[in-house]
Amino acid sequence: MTAPIAAALIASLRALGQSRQGLPGSVEQHARVHLADTLGIAVAARSTAAADRVKAAMGTAEGGACRLIGGGKAGPAAAAFVNAALIHIQDFDDIHDVGRLHPAPVILPAALACAQLVDASDAEVLEAFSLGCEWLCRMGKACSPEGSGRASEWFLTQLLGYAAAAYAAGLVLKLTDAQMVSGVGLACMQAAGSKEAGFGTGSTARAVYPAFAAMGGVQAALMARAGMDGPAGGLDGTAGLFKVYLGSQLTAAQRELLLDADTWHWLETDIKPWPCCRLSQPYVAAALAGRKRLGEELPARIRVAVNASAAKLCRPLPARRRPRTLQDARYSIPFMTAFALACGEPTLQSLSEASLDDEAVHRLVDRLEIEETLADRPGHPMAELRLSTARGNSIVECFHPDMLAMPAEAVQAKFRDCLRFAGVEADADALWQGLMSPAIPGGIGAILDALATTVHSEVLHV
């Protein structure tokens, strides 16, 4: 009889993490860059209305032992929820394209919350962050969702994130293997993540869905530490997550991928250049290229080729043309395409609530037609735009993945911009260099303290 996948995966990742003295150099560097990016985008969200609502709902005024990114404290589960929400609110978080999930907003908050309970070292936090993200990326890659099928109906970040967050939290808490299996099982008992908040329009809850998994993972790990036994087959049992939520048990190929002892699939994770849904970003990239080619001449007709996955971000077309929330705007391919053509790059400053009523964007989005002609496949769509002008010019812009590349200097510039947007008083470049250092001066805790400061106690963009 095959052993439950949770126990086997824990053993496999333990071997991967211990294959050398500490994390491999490329993995540690990846972890540091993604840690810095994640902290930056979280602090950039701290003054948003969504952040205020989350903090009020989680009772952060009551205090607790665990720091919140950007200031304040809460209990461990509440801190995991708030920090995860902060990381995702601006839709600027990292992405594993084939798995279509965001590892950092689930894993880092879970690891940070538990680290502050047991005074874990920075090295232990980085290892838990890396291995927890690796767990989640493997799960997402095993699913490789497309435009149809059960995997496409869930936010896999959330659905698969519960178990991954419990695992990361368990690493920081130094749980035994048996306790880790229980933690994963307890996490699977909470599993959820319907994509209706994305497929439908009008909801602002899409901004916080990873937070449920981060919180649930912390709760599961703490329950396991306290002696609660969770089901060993929470992932692949008779009524486990794969069978019930995704429609079938693991195939041999999926199991082999999950138990890969040699490959860091997390290294395939990318950092976003713009604060909007990843599936809309190929269209933003193509629109920016088209805008540059057309110069001052605006398109009179815009034809947007999509696949089955991207089509879901275009329906219903009238609502996608006129989103009434910033979350809906970031998730709308028609709106984001028109915004890039009219306004240029979407940034934290330029893509705001005021953008929803921008007449220049409205004029272009009303000229936009959707054509579902592209083949679907895992990863981002190979977007294609056909732009025609009133004077008869017609150009075609096709997306290439290099258009979304984020070299190290671009990520550092993004970090700097996030801190400027949040009004952080500390030197962004000094904080960046500290996060890139093998020995972070004062530790991650000192970085969190620095991110809690503001210029003249005011947030600059307000």
What pLDDT, on the 0 to 100 scale, is given for residue 1?
53
- Residue from 122, 175, 159, 126 nearest 10 by CA: 175
3-state secondary structure of 388: strand
What pLDDT, on the 0 to 100 scale, is given for residue 214?
98
- Residue from 417, 274, 281 nearest 351 by CA: 274
- Residue from 156, 103, 402 nearest 282 by CA: 402
Integer Cα distance of 437 and 459 in angstroms: 28
Kind and range of the H or E element at 215? helix 209-225
Integer Cα distance of 350 and 346 in angstroms: 6
Integer Cα distance of 36 and 26 in angstroms: 16
How many C-beta atoms lie closer than 10 Å to residue 418's C-beta? 25
Q: Domain coordinates of the chain in residue numbers?
A: 5-268, 278-404
Grade residue 19 by pLDDT with cuts at 50, 70 and 90.
Answer: low
Integer Cα distance of 78 and 6 in angstroms: 26
What are 302-341's pLDDT values in tens digits?
999 999 999 999 999 999 999 999 999 999 999 999 999 9
- For 430, half-sphere exposure in the C-beta direction (CA atoms, 13 angstrom radius) is 10
On whether the CB atoms of residues 258 and 16 are closer than 8 A, the answer is no
**pTM attached to this predicted model:** 0.96
On whether the CB atoms of residues 158 and 209 are closer than 8 A, the answer is yes
CATH code of domain 5-268: 1.10.4100.10
Amino acid residing at 331: Y
Distances (CA, A) of 235 to 64, 227, 240: 32, 20, 5
What pLDDT, on the 0 to 100 scale, is given for residue 116?
94
What are 148-186's pLDDT values in tens digits?
899 999 999 999 999 999 999 999 999 999 999 999 999
Burial class for 382, CB neighbours closer than 10 Å (0-12, 13-18, 19+):
middle
What are 103-125's pLDDT values in tens digits?
999 999 999 999 999 999 999 99
What are 75-86's pLDDT values in tens digits?
999 999 999 999
Cis upstream peptide for 316 (omega within 30°): yes
What are 186-244's pLDDT values in tens digits?
999 999 999 998 888 988 999 999 999 999 999 999 999 999 999 999 999 999 999 99
What are 388-436's pLDDT values in tens digits?
999 888 999 999 999 999 999 999 999 999 999 999 999 999 999 999 9
Distances (CA, A) of 3 to 6, 186, 189, 237, 243: 8, 18, 19, 10, 16
Integer Cα distance of 280 and 95 in angstroms: 13
The fourth-level CATH superfamily of domain 278-404 is: 2-methylcitrate dehydratase PrpD (3.30.1330.120)
DSSP E strands: which ranges in 230-276?
none
Integer Cα distance of 95 and 114 in angstroms: 24
Q: Which two tokens stand for residue 430?
A: 């000094």
Integer Cα distance of 210 and 102 in angstroms: 8
First to last CA, the chain: 60
Grade residue 462 by pLDDT with cuts at 50, 70 and 90.
Answer: very low
What is the CA angle 402-408-412, rounded to 5?
120
Q: Which two tokens stand for residue 361?
A: 């964007």
The CA-based dihedral angle spanning residues 412, 416, 418, 421, taken in that order and rounded to the nearest 10 degrees? -160
Lateral strand order in the sheet of 299-306: 368-372, 299-306, 384-389, 394-398
